[in-house]
Amino acid sequence: MLASTVTTKGQVTIPAKIRRITGIKPSDKVVFKMSEDKVIIEKVPSLDSLFGSLANPRVKPLSISAMNKLSEKMFEDEK
């Protein structure tokens, strides 16, 4: 168990071992969540780490019927 003390300004130092394990570095953002009587601290992902997670606006999404036709064609090609 690792412990830290709350300062008069309400600040807490995250122990080095926890920062290493979680990859929290200086200037990183964290969020505080409440879970019953516990406080959970999570690192906020950087914008760089989210790159590519959103759909490409230049690529038109397929409709369900188009996906079904494509999968039928793929199965036919395998026969």
- Residue 67, in any domain of the structure: yes
Does this model's pTM top 0.75? no
Residue pair 39/58 in contact (Cβ under 8 Å)? The answer is: no
Residue 68: predicted pLDDT: 87
Tell me the per-residue pLDDT of 16-72, one tens digit each, with 9 for 90 and over. Answer: 999 999 999 999 999 999 989 999 999 887 776 666 667 677 878 788 898 888 888
| Total domains present in the chain | 1
Residue 13: exposed, middle, or buried by beta-carbon count in 10 A (0-12, 13-18, 19+)?
A: exposed
- Residue 52, in any domain of the structure: yes
- Residue 3, in any domain of the structure: no
Distance between CA atoms of residues 70 and 65, nearest Å: 9
- Residue 32, in any domain of the structure: yes
- Residue 8, in any domain of the structure: no
Residue 49: predicted pLDDT: 62
Cα 6 to Cα 14, 21, 72, 79, distances in angstroms: 11, 22, 62, 67
1, pLDDT greater than 90: no
CATH number at 56 reads 2.10.260
Residue 71: predicted pLDDT: 87
